[in-house]
Chain A
Amino acid sequence: MASRPRVLVIDDDEAVLARVAAALEAASIEPIVTTQIVGTAKHLRSCDLVLVDFHMPGLDGASVVASLRAALEGVEERPSFYLFTSDAEAARTWKGAGFDGCLSNKGDDEHVVLQVQAALRTRRVRLASKAKARG
């Protein structure tokens, strides 16, 4: 049986984390949830996808992504980093902040799962294309 994709969700709202974790679990996606950036580095290597809430108090999304990416120095298959927000204004800044994309509609669990699946598919498509290019 193929291993389940693993998604790290970083959000300061525990209620959101609980809901998203249950929805991902039901969709056969393994969730790792945390309200802290500290200590997440150990999960990064085993994750396929990292969702980061942009508006966590005292944190700057761009520097969070930069520090998480720095922790993956030398790793060949890095996870994809996605901004996770319902704020349309913030959603427009994902590229500048160094994310690979943006997940919106945070309040709709079902839509969140579909977006996570889309992000995972994109990652697999890119890995497949890369492998094909290498021959």
Chain B
Amino acid sequence: MTTQVERAAIERALNDTVLRVTGPIAFALAPLYLLFAVAHSMLLPPAQAKIMSPVAAATAVAFLGLGAATRSNRVPRSAAHVAAAAISLAVWLNSSLHVFVAREIHQTTNLGLLVVGSAALFLSTRWFVLLAVITAASFAASLAALPPSPLAMHFVFYMMSAMVLAIVVFRARRTSAVRIEGLRVSEGAQKKMLAELSTRLQELFDNMRDGIVVIDRDARVVGAVSREATRIFGGAAAPGVRVAELLHPDEPEGGVERAALDEWIALAFAAAPAEWDAVDELAPRRALVAPGRAEARSLALEFRPIVDGDRVERVMMLVRDESEKHRLERAMRAQEESFARRLSAVRRLVAGGGQALVSFLRSAEARVTRATELARAPTAGDLGELFQHVHVLKGEADTFELEELRDAAEAAEQCIAAAQRSGDARDVGDAIDTLAERVRDARGLLVRASPIGEAILGQTTVDGDDVARLHDLAGARSDDVGELARRLASRPFGELVGPLVQRVPNWAEGEGTRARVEVRGANERIAPRVAEVLPSVITQLARNAIAHGIEPPEARTSAGKPAAGTVVVDCAPTPDGPRIVVADDGRGVAPGVAARMFERGTSTRDVAGSLAGRGYGLAAVAADLARVGYAIAHEPTDVGARFVLAPARSRVS
């Protein structure tokens, strides 16, 4: 069904058609009427020729003018039928005039020709009807005005036949023209609609965060490429280019990633739309473009089918550039690995007797303090002393495998040497500042690696037997000497539980889960008798936490907990002695078990594991603690299990 807009467009098109033929018709009729003008002057009686010949000549001139006007586009489209009517009326004027001047009924044949000719010229019903009415009226007027003739009836039928023929011709022409122009208008509208849709689709593509590339069954780019895809791939993302060429430009033909992509695309197009989920599982998810090069890009990929009926017609590839995120992740991972290596190296040093490292750091701090003083305004002699301090520091850093400190010392050495050569020591201060910074880093690393934290910096090596003897002799005294003897014999809490930091993750891994230890109050002092039993007690509680408490990572994640469990070991001072809490964030203790958990043979496990399950651990813990005046209690909590170890004379919970 045509709309009003389409009808208007069709009428405009019909006017165009009429205008296109009006000029040629005017030019064709002009010489004919010139001929009529000559013929009239030669063949008609002088009285008739005197009228008809000038009229025909004027008509010929008018036709020439009209033809020229239409050829030079001076006749607007809206005036097309006016111009066509001008031709018909000029012909009508000549024909009617000839009838009345000659007073012959057979001259009315021209009116019949006129109406048929008009049917072949006009495409507007209104204009055609107007011309037909004028012609019929003038024919009727002729019949009335001319003397009666036996041929009158013949010409009446002739005129009727001409009218019917003209109507048939006009209807056929207009119907065909309307249909043809209707199709043209409709096709134009569809093209316009498609162009608009295409523009909107492109805008949609361009506004999406992902780059979009459409792939055909030959594994080549087809159609529009989104702005983001053009940004990611540059000019390479053009129609006809193979997708493998976009994603793996460096790989040779037949390379493993190209082959995998091509085979997957072949599978994707061979699959039915209903099978897409299974096909999608085999799709590549990531591509590393130009690996190993500065312009390397990490792309996240997704694929969507474009379906036509029961087959995959195209595949849409969504591309997200994750290069920056990927670069940051790599940098962070490298930094974490470097830090873990350094920490591990220092832990090894501490485990092998951290005293040497502590001594080195003390001397390094003293050297850096002196070097900083010298670097303020160094004389030639100062530069020599500076070099000496830095050089010794470099050698010692090398011994302890403190690479960054060694590198900073070497840089400072080179800077001082340059200053000695040039006499310009402006950069020396900065180099010494950097060195001081690296010494502070090494100190921080040592504190972090030490199970007793900051306390390690104040420690010195003494003989254990001497300390025990001193405690035996003076430990019971209530004066300062007794206090000092007890303090010397005591152990920092962190030292007692330090080994758990590395052991707990290993035990957890063996049980199919993940866990870590968090030590609080590492500097609290533990009396020698308690210090003897505490490591085994806390070890047992930590093993129990892993064996019975910490769930597997999947179960923890489903329960909204972090994948790795945490065992907190917290030591806090009380007037009666340190109070220790061992807590985990696992599944907790079943109510039925809690009441009798410190009795022998109580276990929540049917089968004993490598860590726990025999039912003797907690009973032994309670007995060991009782021997040194401590008691253990299970304290109910919302998450996990919580055990409190406190001097028996104080309240345990």
A residues sitting closer than 8 Å to B (CB atoms) are 82, 91, 95, 101-105, 107-108, 110-111, 114-115, 117-119, 121-122, 124-126, 128-129
Q: How far is the CA of A107 from the CA of B291 in the complex (A)?
A: 11
Q: Does A108 contact B267, Cβ atoms closer than 8 Å? A: no
Q: How far is the CA of A102 from the CA of B254 in the complex (A)?
A: 9
Chain A residues with Cβ below 8 Å from B264 are 121, 125
Q: Does B292 contact A101, Cβ atoms closer than 8 Å? A: no
Q: How far is the CA of A107 from the CA of B259 in the complex (A)?
A: 21
Residue of B nearest to A94 (CB): B254
B340 → chain A closest CB, angstroms: 14
Q: Is the interface of A mostly helix, strand, loop or mixed?
A: helix
**Contacts A110-B288, A128-B282 known; A101 to B256 CB distance under 8 Å?**
yes
A102 → chain B closest CB, angstroms: 7
A105 → chain B closest CB, angstroms: 6
Q: Does B291 contact A82, Cβ atoms closer than 8 Å? A: no
Residue of B nearest to A103 (CB): B256
Q: How far is the CA of A129 from the CA of B252 in the complex (A)?
A: 25
B278 at the interface (CB under 8 A from A): yes
Q: How far is the CA of A103 from the CA of B283 in the complex (A)?
A: 19
Instruction: Please pick, from A91, A101, A118, the residue contacting B284 in the complex, using a CB distance under 8 A.
Output: A118
B173 at the interface (CB under 8 A from A): no
Q: Does A121 contact B292, Cβ atoms closer than 8 Å? A: no
Residue of A nearest to B554 (CB): A1
Q: How far is the CA of A121 from the CA of B260 in the complex (A)?
A: 6
Q: Which of A107, A111, A118, A124 has the most chain B CB atoms closer than 10 A to its own CB?
A: A118
Q: Does B256 contact A125, Cβ atoms closer than 8 Å? A: no
Given A111-B292, A121-B283, A122-B259, 13 extra CB contacts under 8 A: A103-B256, A104-B255, A108-B291, A114-B286, A114-B288, A115-B257, A119-B256, A121-B264, A121-B284, A125-B260, A125-B264, A128-B278, A128-B282
Chain A residues with Cβ below 8 Å from B283 are 121
B residues sitting closer than 8 Å to A (CB atoms) are 251-252, 254-257, 259-261, 263-264, 267, 270, 278, 282-284, 286-288, 291-292
Instruction: Please pick, from B254, B263, B291, the residue contacting A125 in the complex, using a CB distance under 8 A.
Output: B263
Q: Does B291 contact A110, Cβ atoms closer than 8 Å? A: yes
**Contacts A118-B257, A119-B256, A119-B260 known; A125 to B292 CB distance under 8 Å?**
no
Chain B residues with Cβ below 8 Å from A111 are 288, 291-292
Q: Is the interface of B mostly helix, strand, loop or mixed?
A: mixed
A113 → chain B closest CB, angstroms: 10
Residue of A nearest to B267 (CB): A125
Chain A residues with Cβ below 8 Å from B284 are 117-118, 121
Chain A residues with Cβ below 8 Å from B261 are 118
How many Cβ-Cβ contacts under 8 Å join chain A to chain B?
58
A118 → chain B closest CB, angstroms: 4
Residue of A nearest to B292 (CB): A108
Chain B residues with Cβ below 8 Å from A115 are 256-257
Chain A residues with Cβ below 8 Å from B282 are 121, 124-125, 128
Chain A residues with Cβ below 8 Å from B292 are 105, 107-108, 111
Q: How far is the CA of A91 from the CA of B256 in the complex (A)?
A: 11
Q: How far is the CA of A104 from the CA of B288 in the complex (A)?
A: 13
Residue of B nearest to A118 (CB): B260
Q: How far is the CA of A44 from the CA of B282 in the complex (A)?
A: 23
9 closest residue pairs by CB, A with B: A118-B260, A111-B291, A118-B257, A122-B260, A101-B256, A125-B263, A121-B260, A115-B256, A118-B256
Q: How far is the CA of A126 from the CA of B270 in the complex (A)?
A: 13
B328 → chain A closest CB, angstroms: 14
Chain A residues with Cβ below 8 Å from B267 are 125, 128-129
Q: How far is the CA of A101 from the CA of B257 in the complex (A)?
A: 10
A115 → chain B closest CB, angstroms: 5
Chain B residues with Cβ below 8 Å from A125 are 260, 263-264, 267, 282
Q: How far is the CA of A112 from the CA of B509 in the complex (A)?
A: 27
Chain B residues with Cβ below 8 Å from A121 are 260, 264, 282-284
Q: How far is the CA of A61 from the CA of B521 in the complex (A)?
A: 61
Chain B residues with Cβ below 8 Å from A101 are 254-256, 259
Q: How far is the CA of A58 from the CA of B355 in the complex (A)?
A: 51
A-B contact pairs, 14 of them (CB 8 A): A82-B256, A101-B256, A101-B259, A104-B255, A105-B291, A107-B292, A108-B291, A108-B292, A111-B291, A111-B292, A114-B287, A125-B260, A125-B263, A128-B267
Instruction: Please pick, from B256, B270, B287, B291, the residue contacting A122 in the complex, using a CB distance under 8 A.
Output: B256
Chain B residues with Cβ below 8 Å from A129 are 267, 270
Q: How far is the CA of A121 from the CA of B266 in the complex (A)?
A: 13
Residue of A nearest to B287 (CB): A114
Chain B residues with Cβ below 8 Å from A104 are 251, 255
Chain B residues with Cβ below 8 Å from A124 are 282
